[in-house]
Structure 1
Amino acid sequence: MMRSVELFVGAGGLGIGVSQAGFRPAAVMDWDRWACDTLRENKERCLDPIAHWPIHEGDVRQFDFGTVDGSVDLVTGGPPCQPFSMGGRHRAFLDGRDMFPQAIRAVRELRPRAFIFENVKGLTRSSFANYLEYIRLQLTYPDLVGKRDEEWLAHLARLEDHHTKGTEKRLRYRVVMRVLNSANYGVPQRRERVFLVGFRADTGIEWHFPKPTHSRDALLWSQWRDEVYWDLHRVARKNRPEGGAAKARALKIAERPLDEPWLTVRDAISDLPDPEHAPGTARGFHDHRFQPGARSYAGHTGSPLDEPAKTLKAGVHGVPGGENMLRRTDGSVRYFTIRESARLQTFPDDMVFHGSWTETMRQLGNAVPCQLARIVASGVRDKLSAA
């Protein structure tokens, strides 16, 4: 089995997907106590694949990668995204929370055959264009390190000089980058994230991101043309939404799409009991408890039941109201439970989470959907296996 190292593991979304793709971690690490408690409890409960993870709680800046025995095929991680998040303060390289330097150090010291790093779409903002190129070139030439007291722009210039020389003498990776929408890969959530994937140049591997398998047009067709969606969920015609613009768009689709339909919130949670109106029956499910206080206001109207969820958010000071709410067909709203949020992030149903509702939602809001991680990592594994 191929070996991996996972940085900034958090609640384990990326790590679970990577393990499901066939990698066995030699080390997984995070500094957050609650996230590590979540992983440790699931490890003690022998939840696959976390049961096999060597978990290290602590600051990655203090981790000695020399303690990882043997070769490593893959390094993965989602370096803390707050400097780049659309909801953050956009400080980028001035923000001490930027952990990309540690991701690059891991690649430099472990020399894996490949890496997968994920971050928020905000990293691709035009205001961060130069810093994103800086990250890409550092990952391309990880052993061309910055000098003491060297400004990052000066280091960028040296990297550009080296890159244009075309030399093959240094450790080098071929890096590709793309923004992926999780909904296009069977995740019941519209969650756009940027992925940076690199293969060590001496592997000679050619690779591209996996082709999307699901689409909005296929969902619209299923709802408003052949109406299979409503029949599958046994929704009577009188209880279906009017459709409006979505139905109008569906009528313009010339042929049945070949993709699978986007998955919706209803697809993800319809088999769970209502935690607000039937709390007694909800007790049989881990972390499925009603959280009061949800309210709808301009810009924060919740996720419609019959669409993929909006992007779950972690929040800077607690959970943002609108992004983590369900909006029913009658217009009423409530917060998603932890279990429902885990479903939207495609975590295993038997996984439990540590911390308060707000803390756990932070873990979930920072996570990579396991399903998307598995698909990307499987594509990488297939190429490494064939090399």
Structure 2
Amino acid sequence: MADLSAVEICAGAGGQSLGLELAGFDHAVAVELDENAVNTLRENRDWKVVQGDVADEDRWEPKKYHGVDLLAGGVPCPPFSIAGKQLGATDERDLFAWAVELAGKMQPRALLLENVRGLSMPRFSAYRQHVKDRLRDFGYWSDWKLLHANDYGVPQLRPRFVLVAMRHEDAQWFEWPEEMPTEATVGSALHEMMKSKGWRGADAWATEKATDIAPTIVGGSKKHGGADLGPTRAKTAWRNLGVDPMGVADAPPTVKDPIDFTPKLTTEMVARIQGWGKEPEYEWRFTGRKTTRYRQIGNAFPPPVARAVGTSIANALSRKGQPKELAEVETEVMHDRLYLALKSAPTALTEKELVKLSGEKMDSLTFERRMAMLARDFVIDEDDQLGGRAYRLVGFKGFIGQEGHERHARFAEMRSRIS
């Protein structure tokens, strides 16, 4: 029986859920917007599962779970995705900063949030700094790390940017999970499934073509069409692995298919590439039609990766191992010095003053570009003075739970297309 409790927001179809369960966490509640994913969660576990907008406290009451061991979630990725517009705080789907504020209200012992690699890029350095600063205000140590699924037993690249936060007394026991690159390939992972209907080319396909790990599986959203295996670069990688990326098959190839046939993947095969089903403990059933199942699988946090991170968190909360100085625990984080200069300034400062305060060397063009980037996520007042234009940081544009925030109207308008 699990000794630790978890609240999971934006739970999806259960990739993180299963991994956390295997790490020793029992779900007090899981909250998810998409009806199909909710059905899948309920099909597999008898947890309390709430369907609806996670930011709507009429749907669930966060205060009931005050002091839970872990608050976890895979909040929406499009606001930070390299494949998207990277709108960040101004995207109606952005719930990352809101989830941090939720942690401040719920006061869990630990927080786990995961997202796409795009959040780790310079475009969002000030956003990340804002998150760390808020967590510090709430009494948490925090750290970010880019994890690759293939380092945790999953035959897929799939980089995910992960945030872990803990109370200082627990954080000194935390260690990021040890990387153990997988020896599995697409071929070795799917060989038995590919030959299950008698396809005579399965052996050669597995040993001569599908001899590397998979590119990142992309689940997509309701804004796009049917299931396929991703953008152009990913499709090229799949073709090099001997896989037809233009859609998902209903069943494995059969004895009637030619030996040199280029097969498509089934949703069951996609799930195996995501880390489900290899061993009995990773078995999971997906509900809905094929495209719906594919999206649930493709948008998930691979269960073995969630298990690895969850185990590290559980070990820290249980005080296993040896404590360290917090400086030893934290990985190197690049701070946005211009943002910090703006934030620390008691009054509006000119370009020259801000550059000096930041300690960075930059010309006027670079300064203007950096300020324009900051202005995408933060409200910055500009005032023409005798000494030149002066700048003052006013606030954060993102949704953090405000009743009057424009996120509510945009969310209501886009509700049918958000997944």
TM-score tier (shorter): 0.5 to 0.7
Distance 1:320 1:175 in 2: 36
In structure 2, the residue corresponding to 1:180 is in which secondary structure? Answer: strand
The partner residue of 1:189 within 156, 173, 178 is 156
CA distance in 2, matches of 1:92, 1:57: 25
- State the Cα distance separating 1:103 from its structure 2 match: 1.1
Instruction: Confirm whether residue 39 of structure 1 aligns to residue 41 of structure 2.
Output: yes
CA distance in 2, matches of 1:264, 1:199: 35
Between the aligned partners of 1:92 and 1:357, the Cα distance in structure 2 is 31
After TM superposition, give the deviation of residue 15 of structure 1 in Å: 1.1
For 1:368, the equivalent position in structure 2 comes to 301
- Say whether 1:62 aligns with 2:56: yes
Q: Which amino acid aligns with 1:60?
A: V
Within 5 Å, give how 1:77-116 maps onto structure 2.
77-116=73-112
Q: Judging changes above 3 Å, is the alpha-carbon distance between structure 1 residues 97 and 385 closer, same or farther for their aligned structure 2 residues?
A: same
Post-superposition Cα deviations, 1:275-320, rounded to whole Å, max 9, x if no partner, equal 78759xxxxxxxxxxxxxxxxxxxxxxxx61111110001241334
User: Could you tell me which amino acid in structure 2 is paired with residue 132 of structure 1?
Assistant: R
Superposition TM-score, scaled by structure 1 size = 0.67
User: Among residues 8, 11, 27, which one is paired with 2:10 in the alignment?
Assistant: 8
| Matching residue of 1:262 | 183
Structure 1 residue 354: Cα displacement:
2.1
1:308 and 2:213 matched: yes
For the 8 Å contact 2:14–2:300, the answer to whether it is kept is yes
Structure 2 match to 1:127 = 123
Instruction: Find the aligned partners of 1:179 and 1:204 in 2 and give their Cα distance.
Output: 18
Distance 1:271 1:211, change over 3 A: same
Residue aligned with 1:60, SS? coil
In 2, are the aligned partners of 1:184 and 1:213 still within 8 Å (CA)?
yes
Distance 1:204-1:311 versus aligned 2 partners, 3 A rule: closer
1:342 aligns with 2:261: no
1: distance between equivalents of 2:272 and 2:171?
38
- Name 2:391's counterpart in structure 1: none
- 2:28·2:48 contact (CA, 8 Å) conserved in 1? yes
Q: Is the 8 A contact 2:267 2:293 kept in 1?
A: yes
Correspondent of 1:200 among 158, 167, 171: 167
Deviating more after overlay: 261-270 vs 6-15: 261-270
Q: Any gaps of 5 or more consecutive residues in structure 2? A: 201-208, 244-258, 321-419
SS at match of 2:6: strand
Q: 1:69 to 1:121 in 2, by over 3 A?
A: closer
Most deviating of 310-319 and 25-34? 310-319
Question: CA separation in 1, counterparts of 2:132 and 2:74?
Answer: 15
- Other-structure match for 1:117: 113
RMSD of aligned residue pairs (Cα, Å) = 2.6
Amino acid at match of 1:262: E
Contact 1:210 1:376 in 2 (8 A): yes
Provide the secondary structure at the position in 2 that maps to 1:6: strand
Q: 1:203 to 1:181 in 2, by over 3 A?
A: closer
Compared with structure 1, are the counterparts of its residues 384 and 331 closer, same or farther at alpha carbon in structure 2 (3 Å cutoff)? farther
Between structure 1 and structure 2, the one with the greater Rg is 2
Residues 170-185 of structure 1 correspond to what in structure 2 (within 5 A)?
171-185=138-152
Q: Secondary structure at the match of 2:112?
A: strand
| Aligned 8 A contact 1:78 1:118 in 2 | yes
Partner residue in 2 for 1:301: none
Give distance in 1, aligned partners of 2:171 and 2:42.
38
Gap runs ≥5 in structure 1: 43-49, 142-170, 215-260, 280-303
Is the contact between residue 170 and residue 319 of structure 2 (CA under 8 Å) also seen in structure 1?
no
Counterpart position of 1:18: 20
Partners of 2:265 and 2:242 in 1: how far apart?
11
CA deviations on 1:9-42 (whole Å, 9 max, x unpaired) are: 0011011101110011111110111110111222
- SS of 1:116's equivalent? strand
CA positional deviation for 1:101: 3.0
CA distance in 1, matches of 2:148, 2:260: 26
Report the equivalent of 1:236. Answer: none
Q: Alpha-carbon deviation of 1:70? A: 6.3
Aligned residue for 1:308, secondary structure, equals: coil
Letter in 2 for 1:104: V
Inter-partner Cα distance in structure 2 for 1:212 and 1:199: 22
One-letter amino acid of the counterpart of residue 157, structure 2: R
TM-score by length of 2: 0.62
The one-letter code of the counterpart of 1:78 is G
| Kept in 2: contact 1:3–1:71 (CA 8 A) | no
Which residue does 1:27 correspond to in 2?
A: 29
